[in-house]
Structure 1
Amino acid sequence: MKHIITKITPLLLTGTLLMTVGCYQRDEIDIEQRDTTPSTDELDIYIQQNFVKPYGVAVRYAYVDRYVDPSKRVTPPDRDNVIPMLKFLQSYWVDPFTQVPNGTTFFKKYVPSEVVFIGSTIYNADGTEILGTADAGARITLSRVNYIDTLDQQWMFLQLGTIYHEFAHVMHQNFKLPPNFQSISPQGYTSSGSWFVLTDEEALQRGFVSPYATSSFNEDFAETVAFILYYPNFYERYYNDEENCATLDCLARNEGRELIRQKYNAILAHYKQYTGVDLLEIRAIVQEKLSE
């Protein structure tokens, strides 16, 4: 079972700094100048050239406690893992979105301004794991960077599912959910504290691609987008009906697939209407990369 928790936190309101200006006999005021010398660090140069300059995305790889819930214990990524992780994101996230019509415009406008890397896993008290977060469209946080292994399908799918899921949150945060999305499977939702007791089979029969998708409308949207993009057997598992059903379980799965097809169509139309991006073209690029 894929355990993924997404926390949407509001942006902190920045207080206004009030400055009192007095009159002095000296007209000259000595102000310490901030050092603006560009970094000569190879890693910082790579980030500047490949993420900051073209997309305005700052990559945070050094541990800063404000990026993580203070109740969580985490470790930063090993330095040697940062560029390989960035290349992975470039290949499977940046390139697929920017290589399709209207994709570059969409990506540059809505990509979060920060990507934060966490080296370790992040666990909740209930035993579930936080794979990533999307903070009000401004920051995406990814964990498990120290486990990077592009030959490990499980690691690949966890990371792809996370980054596509979190980027999908940016979509509904800017354009809301498709108009009919919340009415497709209203009886199937659970809650943020009970979704993990469901099996994959039970989730499918309810019309969801994963147990976590049942936790809320927004998570359902993000999970479905992620599965459309990265899951190789999406159509076989979630879209196409099984033929010659002879059991109640089979019939229930097909009923769930009908609900997923409605969500699928609503999501594709939503992206196309508001961004001009065809998710299926992105899927085709991702799937070609996964098959190499």
Structure 2
Amino acid sequence: MKDISPQAESTTSVVRLTFQFAYKDKIEASEEWYAATDKLKQEPSIGFVTKGQSIDDELDIVLFISWDYAAKPSACFLSGNIDHIFSSVSDFLAKRPRLICNVCHDDRGQCVNTFTTSRSGFETMKEIMVVRGPVKAMEPILKKIDEDAKHYMHALDIGMDCYDIHISDQAFWGMSLYRVSNENGNKELSSQEHADYASFALFSKWFSPSRRAEFLDPNIPDRAIPPVFQEFYGSNWWQQKVMKPIEDMGATISSWTYHKGQIARDRKLVISKFKNWLEFRYMDDVSLAQFERQLAEKEPL
């Protein structure tokens, strides 16, 4: 798992920036911030960047740096040596910039909606769960969790189609499984541990923080699941089908939630990229027009 999969159609690097309270106004609104994003845009094969803000702390920022189609991350993102890119904002940070992981998936093309939170017209919440453990035991279990999540979403569809359950009743909006590549250039792990252990990332989407808390409470029934499926996807589905299998195999879990995912890149380059997606039918012209209107409301980055 040290290298990017040669079959991967898209790769994204996830970087976490924690700002000091006194420098809150520097986020997305300072010459130092623009200098950092300008450096970031100079990295070879960069596709686009989206910014997330922690649901619990607006000073806790995450950047999703997506690389063009099947391109590998640039050398500094493969090694984890990214301090120089964010040197202009280093005095404002509470800790060094952290490369959480590089993730890759096999979907065709790039999908900005995977890493933003506004696809449905309102800001949902995302959760990143990085799971590390023995690869031979963990990979099939995580694939089973991913499959169970798809079955759960199918049950929700049946609820909306046949049982008059509204989409706003959903708390959990789906999950994506990714492979984490290169272990952030961690040289401390032995070659044997590298060979036997691997990390994966589960990206979950939630309606809101309060609805997520409700969904995770085993004492509260899931209002979005029709009665016929309550036996299989009841109030403890998350605990039994997601958390328990991971915990039983002794894997380590790092979980992080965020919302307000937004584009953080030069406007003209972003529109040009989206027009390419339009050409290849990755989005329609209505979506592109809406996106351009949203960009017009923002100050140039």
Q: TM-score, with normalisation over the residues of structure 1?
A: 0.33
Structure with more of its chain in strand, by fraction: 2
Q: TM-score, normalised by structure 2?
A: 0.32
Greater relative contact order (Cα 8 A, min sep 6): structure 1 or 2? 2
Q: Hey, which of these two has a bigger chunk of helix by percent?
A: 1
Larger Rg: 1
